[in-house]
Amino acid sequence: MIVPKSGSDKSGKTFGRFTYMFNRNNPLNSLTNEIEVADNPKDKRVLNVMLTDTNNSVVNIGTIRQNTNSVNVKNILVGVERYSNNYYFYFKSKVTKKRLFFSATSMINYKNSEYLSYIASFLIEASHIRESNPFYIIRLLENFNNFPRIPAFYYKNIVLTPLRWNLNKYTLGNFSSKSDLLPKLDSFIKKWKVSRQIFLEKNDNRILLNLNLKNHRNELIKEILNKGNVSIYEPFLENANKLAEYVYSFNDVDFQNIASVPLITREMSVSSNSKKRKIILGDDWLYFKIYCSRDNLKSLVTYRLSNLYQKLHDKKYIDLFHYLAFKDPNYHIRIRFRLSSKKNFSKVIDYINNWSHNLLEENLISKIVFDTYDREIERYGGLQFIEYVEKVFNADSIDTMHHFMETMYSKINKVESIEKFALKLGFSINVQKNILMNRFHYSPELKDIYTKNKKYVQNNKFHFINFVKQNESDFNKLPLYTNEGKDLSIYDIELFFSLIHMHCNRIGIKHGDDEIEIMLLWFKLVREADYYLGDGQNK
């Protein structure tokens, strides 16, 4: 379906005289179905190698074939989308709304007009047009689920694909219960010489199992009964000294790593009770909680806590500080001071003692509790990076403490507080939009919140845009993200959301539905600001 002057070159948005084919409430699903093309070839000599059964779904062209997952060719819609500066065909199911990808794992040359029909050739060629090698052997091997054992493939000392075993009704025989499956699995392990230790994988998730251990074996059995088709892999653990997994591009790309802050890593070398993780009374950090009512939270943070911090800071007894507001189950404020020197410990305690007694006598708090500061090292990028994050917490706490009252007034004040913090971290409005879009854009369950706040966004978008203009050049920044061209890793993105969540906490946004609503409002307003301040206005 090619529509001139369609109004959009993005997939799923084409419109024109074919509009009746589409349900506007069902846009193109991001999931993809891989479909095997079953064709009646022009040359009957290749018929024996064409009727493969490696994919779960089949489209029959010029032939009738019994398959419960057959795709009717009449339900295949064809569209055009732009990728970089080129235009390509894409396919969509009229029934499921999913993108369709057609292949012929029989290795037939689909470009040879002597073999396939024009329709079959078009479906396959258009699906593979962006692939330099559509017959990539590794991709084909992933479809061979009916073989009990797929050997490992090597290039010199490099393992391209590890040894793999497929566990399903074709390789084990029919089973319906654990008692049916257990003897079949034992026989399979013996016959096909399955390793004692294996990896059970699903997408990017991997678990190491020892089949000699009953509970590990039960985990594998549970997975087979649940999924029906499971693949296990040789783990390369025995006799291995140095193991590593690398991902390289075959394109000639000049990679440059510009590091402005310490690398974010998942450092697991700090034991659960290490002094670097658990900081107690007498160490360099002092951690205590004051319990109060929610009504007193605002005045305690804005006036009383601010006053205590200022005195300790002016005396140079402390060099870092941060606070959080919690309810578990009672409302309280968690306060942490880092001593500039351990010699100041008794002086800081005296200040806290007098300060707390005054609050108790005025019935502003019910009790004070000193506790262990259990640092979330892994959440914040490892031992080295958490010290940088604590400096971010310090700057954010000082800022929010002085503006806590005004963020309680309206939704737009809360959103602008979050935006100011994100800009200080170095995230431009365009980078924010891309991060938030991946998290919130395709969430049907949040549709009601979108609808409810649509008018609010339109009424406040220019107020928000002016706020961004005033704050995007703020020189008092915390350079967490300084390279606009750098791709953010999943760790970077999760760290971003963790810091934003803590900021929401500090300005009094309740965790749960309230926070989700404010975050969605922020996303909508950020998208508007990106359009008006970025390239969107020129498109």
Query: 352: number of CA atoms within 13 Å, CB side?
Result: 20
The model's pLDDT over 455-509, given as tens digits with 9 standing for 90+, comes to 999 999 999 999 999 888 765 667 666 655 567 777 788 888 999 999 998 988 8
With CA atoms as reference, report the closest residue to 98 among 52, 19, 35, 37.
Answer: 35
Structural tokens at position 539:
């498109």
Confidence of residue 351 (pLDDT cuts 50, 70, 90): very high
Looking at the structure of the chain, the number of domains it has is 4
Lowest mean pLDDT among 12-26, 249-263, 431-445, 472-486: 12-26
Q: What is the mean pLDDT of residues 66-76?
A: 75
Residue 375 maps to a domain: yes
Domain identity same for 279 and 213: no
Residue 261 maps to a domain: no
User: What share of the chain has pLDDT > 90, as a percent?
Assistant: 31
Domain identity same for 106 and 149: no
Residue 6 maps to a domain: no
Domain identity same for 419 and 503: yes
pLDDT of 168 > 70? The answer is: yes
Domain identity same for 413 and 395: no
Domain identity same for 274 and 391: yes
Residue 326 belongs to domain with CATH number: 3.30.70.100
Q: What is the pLDDT of residue 169?
A: 87
Q: Do the beta carbons of residue 37 and residue 61 sit within 8 Å?
A: yes
Q: Among 84, 105, 128, where does a domain finish? A: 128
Q: What is the pLDDT of residue 311?
A: 96
What are the φ and ψ backbone dihedral angles of 337, each rounded to 5 degrees? -115, 135
- Average pLDDT along the chain: 79
Domain identity same for 389 and 411: no
Q: Do the beta carbons of residue 380 and residue 389 sit within 8 Å?
A: yes
Lowest mean pLDDT among 153-157, 185-189, 281-285, 456-460: 153-157
Q: What is the pLDDT of residue 250?
A: 60
Q: Among 381, 402, 423, where does a domain finish? A: 402
Q: What is the mean pLDDT of residues 209-232?
A: 89
pLDDT of 266 > 50? The answer is: no
C-alpha separations of 128 from 134, 138, 315, 396 in Å: 6, 15, 69, 50
With CA atoms as reference, report the closest residue to 91 among 102, 83, 99.
Answer: 99
Lowest mean pLDDT among 40-44, 418-422, 516-520: 40-44
The model's pLDDT over 431-458, given as tens digits with 9 standing for 90+, comes to 999 899 888 865 666 777 878 888 999 9
Domain identity same for 144 and 122: no
Residue 476 maps to a domain: yes
Q: Do the beta carbons of residue 353 and residue 312 sit within 8 Å?
A: no
Instruction: State the maximum Cα–Cα separation within the chain, in Å, rounded to a whole number.
Output: 96
Domain identity same for 108 and 143: no
Query: 3: number of CA atoms within 13 Å, CB side?
Result: 20
Q: What is the pLDDT of residue 43?
A: 59
Cα gap 253→218, rounded to integer Å: 46
Amino acid at 273: N
Domain identity same for 281 and 391: yes
**Residue 482: which H helix or E strand, with range?**
none
Domain identity same for 486 and 459: yes
Domain identity same for 410 and 445: yes
Q: What is the mean pLDDT of residues 68-93?
A: 82
Domain identity same for 449 and 383: no
How far is Cα of residue 21 from the mean position of the Cα atoms in its chain?
33
Residue 9 maps to a domain: no
Cα gap 124→34, rounded to integer Å: 11
Write out the residue range of the structural domain in which residue 50 sits.
Answer: 16-128
Q: What is the pLDDT of residue 282?
A: 93
pLDDT of 288 > 90? The answer is: yes
More confident site: 143 or 78: 78
Residue 26 maps to a domain: yes
More confident site: 53 or 431: 431
Residue 533 maps to a domain: yes
Residue 8 maps to a domain: no
Confidence of residue 67 (pLDDT cuts 50, 70, 90): low
Q: Among 106, 128, 150, where does a domain finish? A: 128
